[in-house]
Amino acid sequence: MHQPNSEDNINPLDRRAFCVGAMSLVALGTTACGGGGGGGGTAGGLGALGSAPQADASAVAAATAPAAVPDAQAVTDAAPPAPQARKFAHPGLLHTEADFERMRLKVAANAQPWLAGWNALISNGRSQLGATPRPLATVIRGGDGQNFAQMYIDIARSYQLALRWKVSGDTRYADLAVVFLNAWSSTLTSIEGNADRFLAAGIYGQQFANAAEIMRSYPGWAASDLARFQNMMLTVFYPLNHSFLVNHNGAEITNYWANWDQCAMGSILAIGVLCDRQDIYDEALNYYRNGAGNGAGLQAVYHVHPGYLGQWQESGRDQGHCTLGIGLAGAFCEMAWNQGDDIYGYENNRFLAGAEYVAKSNLRDGAGNFYTVPFLTSANRQGTKTVLSTSGLGHQRGIWESVYNHYANRLGIATPYTALQAAQMRPESDGSNGDQLGFGTLTYARDPIATAVRPSGLTARVHGSQVELSWWGCTGALSYSVKRATVAGGPYATVATGITDTLTFTDTAVAPGVVYHYAVVALTAAGEGDPSDEARAPIKAELLMQLGFSETQNAADYPDLPVGLLKNVADFTIACRVYLDEIATWSRVFDFGSGERRYMMLTPRSNAGTVRYAISPVHGYNMQMIEGSSPLPTGRWVHVAVTLSGTLGTLYIDGAVAGSNAQMTFAPCELGETTQNFLGRSQYPNDPPLRGRLDDFRVYQGALSAAEISLLA
């Protein structure tokens, strides 16, 4: 299939009311097989790790081209004034007033680990009185004349001085923080350099906004000075952030690794709050959920393995960038949380799955060897990675406290490897490299959750003749047991015990035609806890949807199907009757996805000249296919069906097998909550519409047998 060459044009509307006009809904069900929910230069921290990826000559030329024209244009159309309906909480980025009160009380009581975190802060050279700001009119990162360390050091001073004021109450630190903020807002006019200028605008934009957000409540910071600082964020930092997410520096969208998108999103989110701009804030949230770049939520955690180990997008590249990505994404999630938006929980805690994977990858076991983790071949514009990268293996970065404390101590969700990373880095400092603000032990540590907890997020996915279970553990659990029933709600029989790591179980003792119901319980020091929510797993095909259509309406004009139609479905069947008036290469019978970034589709004729089913979780890379031997015929009704059972994918034409692939490891549930589920048209806007009609369109959870397909045909 052709490679993508343009941005997503994602329709955010949830078209659940789609039975209109000439299309009639015969049956619609919602049962599914699962439940539950940088831097460059000598002083730049990561050095070469943060530099632009190497690409072909055109991409490199784009990456090093002067910034003036595209970025100046972005200033004019990136941030139009918009009426505001939302009232933001202040301070409300990485820290709230409740957080500061907790820090004050814990430090005053000499409680650990807060006291150790406080001592790390007050012993840091950048948190001391007596320093003088060194503002620049032009900051350069990447290429000749780099001076960006001068900015990130002053940002670190501003933030650390602000923290010292909020915890100690000593206004000398507040007064000096204001001096630093005012010096930069009255001097800085541009951020320049090669592609690394986008890293500077992203990483340091988010950090600068956080320092200012803390200080906005200080009576000694004049309103006019705050306004000037906000203007600097809107006119210097935001245009570069916005430009990168929209244009990716003129490169193919997967040319840039996850951390590039993530720092831009973090800066945009922070600027939106600091400047009380809901439109800007919403831009960041929408990109995280629906964006096409490698840093958006579903791409950053490239693949979730059984037991919720989420392979990070840069895990095949190097471990320094993986930990950078966790730090950037963790900050994004925390800032959104403090404004009431739960990105931490997005797609069944997908970020935690990524954090646990990166944490485990970089830890040693009891024998002193690095833990092994599963790895799915990953591919993008930079090439194909087949194994976990050992570059920087064991990388340590002080970014784990926020992740650990949110999931374990706010929610009671077990984070075994993240917890080990947090413990070995405690107390966190700032790392001295400008990549993160740091001091998470002081700012994020929380007392353990006091309420009773239980396993959560249980999914039960049917793959052929077995059921694969995964779940999130709970703090305080010693082990887990899996219980199974053939009636919803029980009675249950225990089918597995003593599960400790990884939290997954494959039930192979299942019978055809039976519907199973699963729950997981934790064994704690106090005994067996409450069961998880129940997950349903039918060992048979069940009709989810059946649609009939008018014989006069063209398929390309059919309304979209519901968002998330196959979100939790592994084995499946999609079948329908197709009448082609004429055939065009890359037209679609169906195409379920989220724009060009991820999709599953059936085309009557591919570029190979044959009917093809294909599924891809990332921009056409790693695409898996079932290829027929010829295109679909025109001028008559044809019955077409696609099934997946385990890893066996089968394509049927008029009831007969037309193609198969026994290595289909991608199921619909790999695509997440697809937002564009089309009949008769493609995720790619330049592909032609289907010239013909559809009828008796059916979607099943589970694979129909060849005999059952024959009866439909």
Query: What is the full DSSP assignment across 57-123?
Result: HHHHHHHHS-SHHHHHHHHHHS-----------SSBSS-BHHHHHHHHHHHHTT-TTHHHHHHHHHT
End-to-end CA distance of the chain: 28
Of all residues in the chain, the percent with pLDDT exceeding 90 is: 84
Top-confidence residue, 647 or 15: 647
Summary mean pLDDT of the chain: 89
Range 456-539: architecture per CATH: Sandwich (2.60)
**Residues 6+ positions from 17 with CB-CB distance below 8 Å:** none
Q: Which of 67-71, 130-134, 169-173, 262-266 has the lowest mean pLDDT?
A: 67-71
Taking 70 as the threshold, does the pLDDT of residue 679 lie above it? yes
Of all residues in the chain, the percent with pLDDT exceeding 70 is: 88
Calculate mean pLDDT across residues 515-538: 96
| C-alpha distances out from residue 19 to 85, 545, 556, 559, 561, Å | 32, 12, 15, 8, 9
Bond before 113 cis per omega within 30 degrees: yes
Q: Are strands 477-485 and 656-661 parallel, antiparallel or unpaired?
A: unpaired
User: Which residue type, as a one-letter code, is found at position 602?
Assistant: L
SS3 readout for 620-660? CECCEEEECCCCCCCCCEEEEEEEEECCEEEEEECCEEEEE
Calculate mean pLDDT across residues 13-40: 32
Calculate mean pLDDT across residues 515-525: 96
Handedness of CA 424, 446, 418, 322 (dihedral sign): negative
pLDDT of residue 553: 87
Taking 80 as the threshold, does the pLDDT of residue 434 lie above it? yes
Q: Which residues pair with 592 in a beta bridge?
A: 600, 677
Calculate mean pLDDT across residues 75-99: 76
**Residues 6+ positions from 656 with CB-CB distance below 8 Å:** none
User: pLDDT for 584-594, tens place per residue?
Assistant: 999 999 999 99
User: pLDDT for 547-575, tens place per residue?
Assistant: 999 888 899 999 999 999 999 899 999 99
pLDDT band at 33 (very low <50, low <70, confident <90, very high): very low
Query: Would 107-223+234-444 and 542-712 be classified into the same CATH topology?
Result: no
Taking 90 as the threshold, does the pLDDT of residue 199 lie above it? yes
pLDDT of residue 438: 97
pLDDT of residue 492: 97
Calculate mean pLDDT across residues 180-189: 98
pLDDT band at 14 (very low <50, low <70, confident <90, very high): very low
Residues 411, 417, 421, 427, Cα dihedral to 10°:
30
- Identify the CA nearest to 114 among candidates 426, 445, 448: 445
User: pLDDT for 308-350, tens place per residue?
Assistant: 999 999 999 999 999 999 999 999 999 999 999 999 999 999 9
Look at residue 213 and give its three-state secondary structure.
helix
Calculate mean pLDDT across residues 60-85: 40
pLDDT of residue 248: 97
Helical spans, DSSP H, in 376-482? 400-404, 416-425, 440-444
CATH number for the region 542-712 comes to 2.60.120.200
pLDDT band at 449 (very low <50, low <70, confident <90, very high): very high
Distance CA 51, CA 520 (A): 45
pLDDT of residue 453: 81
CATH number for the region 107-223+234-444 comes to 1.50.10.100
User: pLDDT for 352-396, tens place per residue?
Assistant: 999 999 999 999 999 999 999 999 999 999 999 999 999 999 999
Q: Which residues pair with 282 in a beta bridge?
A: none
User: Which residue type, as a one-letter code, is found at position 82?
Assistant: A
Taking 90 as the threshold, does the pLDDT of residue 80 lie above it? no
pLDDT band at 87 (very low <50, low <70, confident <90, very high): very high
Sketch the domain layout of the chain as residue ranges: 107-223+234-444, 456-539, 542-712
Q: Which of 27-31, 215-219, 543-547, 567-571 has the lowest mean pLDDT?
A: 27-31
Look at residue 402 and give its three-state secondary structure.
helix
pTM equals 0.88
**Residues 6+ positions from 243 with CB-CB distance below 8 Å:** 70, 71, 74, 78, 198
